[in-house]
């Protein structure tokens, strides 16, 4: 039994997907750990699991109809959403994600979420094509922007026989997520941890209109900042030019040049955690021309740029307790990353291959190796950047909780 889970009130919404049966096991796990569980079943959800089995396992009434006057008198949609500590929608269908993303409230589940002031955790489950459909992806990212927490989906064999991303996380994985959410959040809160994350590219101007930059979208760093803040870490994101929206509950400072990123980094110190995910330009023009350079000038002299990661890791007065760098390479990834750890004195390097268009810059996916100073190498296969971010952040949190 986990002390942080005892008496926690979980409002579980079960949607209409094949994976609905898995939620019965989840209720069992939660009850075994002395959580109180109330369940809302969508109309489609009832086609997959019966209210009777849910009521027996949860030892509570099952809520289905927003206009059920009997249950409404006892607990309406507002009271249900106020009663709980968290709302878990598992499985959430493509249909329900679309409803939540557009603010619709045409059944009990969507109405109580719209009316809620509690953390909301979504465990999506659907066929791979449904999951990868542009509309589902847009909805999912909107929900992330709303600050909803998500677990999964993972990649694997589906009930329909196809293979790919869209499989619901297992009841055990969801249970562990909830357990970690309550326990680690409590511990982290009590430690008042502060983090600094850099993300995106930088621009190094040659003259008023031309600059050196790269294709970094900032997605991986933004996801890390979002995930750190979910765990209760006071997080500041220093972002180079990026079209991404500010993650909920994260302080953001927008900059253009490496020089500006460096100045803001110094201002944010001291922090406990520094994650340097920005693709800072390694070079800058030796000289900035105040006026537009004439086109017959073809020689461009460059010089080395400021190294923010190295500055943080070698900063004796205000060194963050954990300094994590990123290495975007196109060849011999792990070898370069190991050298970078030694050269820059950081604690971990997250290395990725930016030559592969399916992952890295601009993509929603990444495939990384996390290399520690101790020599430990953890390889994460291709997965959503949000998944990779959660993995890295869980490793960071474990570092501080132990
Ligand atoms: C056999 C069957 C399995 C289904 N499985 C899923 C699923 O895994 N994920 C999903 O998003 N929709 C699935 N659907 C479609 C949903 O049930 C449908 O979109 C429904 O309107 C969802 O309602 P809800 O979001 O209110 O629960 C399935 C439909 C059928 C008939």
CATH number at residue 393: 3.40.50.10300
Q: Are 200 and 161 members of one domain?
A: no
% of the chain beyond a pLDDT of 90: 61
User: Is residue 262 situated within a structural domain?
Assistant: yes
Ligand 1 site, residue 15, Cβ cutoff 6 A: yes
Rounded average pLDDT over 379-389: 86
Calpha distance 214→85 (Å, rounded): 43
Within a domain: 3: no
Q: 214 and 178, same structural domain? A: no
C-beta of 90 in contact with ligand 1 (< 6 A): no
Is any ligand 1 atom within 6 A of the Cβ of residue 45?
A: yes
Mean pLDDT of 105-123: 94
- Between residues 69 and 124, which one has the greater pLDDT? 124
pLDDT attached to residue 71? 66
CATH of the domain at 56: 3.40.50.1950
pLDDT of residue 249: 87
Model confidence over 244-302: pLDDT tens digits?
999 888 999 999 999 999 999 999 999 999 999 999 998 999 999 899 888 887 788 99
Q: How far is the CA of 13 from the centre of ligand 1 (A)?
A: 14
- If asked whether residues 100 and 229 sit together in one domain, one would say no
Residue 294's contacts (CB-CB under 8 Å, 6 or more residues apart) are none
Structural domain boundaries enclosing 172? 9-183
Secondary structure (3-state) at 85: coil
- The helix/strand/coil state of 354 is coil
Q: How far from the centroid of its chain's Cα atoms is residue 110's Cα?
A: 23
Query: Measuring from atom 13 of ligand 1, which residue has the nearest CA?
Result: 17
Residue with tokens 């291709």: 382
pLDDT of residue 314: 92
- Least confident range from 24-28, 103-107, 328-332, 372-376: namely 328-332
CA distances from 227 to 17, 99, 148, 249, 252 (A): 27, 24, 11, 10, 14
- In sequence order, which residues have a C-beta less than 8 Å from that of residue 362 and are 6 or more positions away? 215, 216, 217, 219
Pair 242, 327 in one domain: yes
Is 4 part of any domain? no
- Tell me if 2 is assigned to some domain: no
> SS3 of 374, please?
coil
d(CA 113, CA 219): 27
pLDDT band at 36; cut points 50, 70, 90: very high
pLDDT band at 360 (very low <50, low <70, confident <90, very high): low
| pLDDT score of 235 | 97
**Mean pLDDT calculated for residue range 384-388:** 86
Asked if 381 and 237 sit in the same domain, the reply is yes
Q: Is the pLDDT of residue 74 over 70?
A: no
Same domain, 304 and 170: no
Q: How many domains does the chain have?
A: 2
CB 178 within 8 A of CB 86: yes
CA of 44 to the centre of ligand 1 (A): 7
Of 35, 84, 160, 276, catalytic: 160
Q: What are phi and psi of 401, to 5 degrees?
A: -80, -30
Residues 210 and 159 in one domain: no
The 10s digit of each residue's pLDDT in 169-212 is: 999 999 999 998 888 777 777 788 999 999 999 999 999 999 99
3-state helix, strand, coil in the chain (%, to 5): 35, 25, 40
| Whether residue 114 has pLDDT greater than 80 | yes
pTM comes to 0.68
Most ligand 1 atoms within 8 A of CB, residue of 12, 17, 143 to mutate: 17
Specify whether 40 is located in the same domain as 129: yes
Closest residue by Cα to atom 25, ligand 1, is: 96
160 is catalytic: yes
Angle at 351 between CA 346 and CA 357, to 5 degrees: 150
Instruction: State whether residue 375 is helix, strand or coil.
Output: coil
* Within a domain: 281: yes
220 and 262, same structural domain?
yes
Instruction: Tell me, yes or no, whether 177 and 43 share the same domain.
Output: yes
Same domain assignment for residues 220 and 117: no
Give me 208's structure tokens. Answer: 């008023």
- Is the C-beta atom of 17 inside 6 A of ligand 1? yes
Q: Would residue 81 count as lying in a domain?
A: yes
For atom 22 of ligand 1, the residue with the nearest CA is 16
Q: Quick one: pLDDT at residue 161?
A: 82
The rounded distance, in Å, linking the Cα atoms of 293 and 270 is: 40
If we measure between CA atoms, which residue out of 40, 37, 17 comes closest to residue 27? 37
Q: Report the pLDDT value the prediction gives residue 89, as an integer from 0 to 100.
A: 98
Do 320 and 211 belong together in one domain? yes
Q: Residue 236: in which H helix or E strand, if any?
A: strand 234-239
CA-nearest residue, atom 6 of ligand 1: 17
Is 376 among the domain residues?
yes
């Amino acid at each position: 039994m986990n002390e942080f889970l005892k008496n926690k009130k979980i409002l579980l919404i079960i949607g209409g997907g094949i994976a609905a049966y898995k939620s019965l096991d989840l209720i069992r796990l939660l009850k075994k750990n002395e959580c109180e569980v109330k369940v809302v079943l969508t109309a489609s959800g009832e086609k997959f699991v019966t209210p009777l089995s849910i009521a027996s396992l949860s030892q509570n009434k099952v809520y289905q109809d927003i206009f059920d006057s009997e249950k409404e008198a006892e607990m309406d949609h507002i009271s249900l959403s106020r009663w709980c500590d968290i709302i878990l929608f598992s499985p959430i269908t493509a249909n329900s994600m679309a409803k939540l993303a557009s603010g619709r409230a045409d059944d009990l589940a969507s109405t109580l979420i719209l009316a809620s002031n509690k953390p909301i955790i979504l465990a999506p489950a659907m066929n791979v094509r449904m999951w990868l459909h542009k509309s589902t992806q847009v909805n999912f990212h909107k929900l992330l922007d709303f600050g909803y927490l998500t677990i999964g989906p993972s990649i694997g064999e589906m009930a329909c026989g196809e293979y790919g991303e869209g499989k619901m996380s297992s009841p055990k994985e969801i249970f562990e997520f909830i357990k970690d959410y309550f326990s680690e959040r409590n511990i982290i809160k009590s430690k008042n941890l502060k983090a600094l994350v850099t993300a995106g590219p930088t621009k190094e101007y040659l003259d008023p209109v031309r600059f050196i930059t790269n294709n970094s979208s900032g997605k991986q760093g933004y996801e890390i900042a979002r995930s750190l803040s979910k765990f209760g870490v006071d997080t500041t994101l220093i972002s180079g030019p990026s079209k991404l929206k500010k993650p909920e509950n994260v302080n953001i400072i927008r900059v253009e040049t490496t020089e500006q990123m460096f100045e803001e980094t110094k201002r944010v110190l001291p922090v406990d955690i520094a994650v340097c995910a920005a693709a800072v330009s390694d070079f800058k023009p030796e000289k900035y021309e105040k006026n537009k350079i004439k086109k017959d000038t073809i020689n461009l002299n460059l010089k080395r740029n400021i190294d923010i990661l190295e500055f943080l890791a070698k900063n004796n007065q205000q060194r963050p307790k954990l300094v994590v760098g990123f290495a975007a390479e196109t060849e011999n990834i792990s070898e370069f990353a190991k050298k970078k750890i030694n050269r820059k004195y950081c604690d971990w390097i997250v290395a990725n291959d930016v030559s592969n268009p399916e992952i890295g810059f601009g993509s929603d996916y990444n495939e990384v190796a996390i290399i520690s100073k101790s020599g430990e190498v953890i390889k994460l296969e291709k997965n959503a950047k949000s998944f990779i971010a959660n993995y890295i952040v869980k490793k960071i949190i474990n570092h501080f909780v132990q």
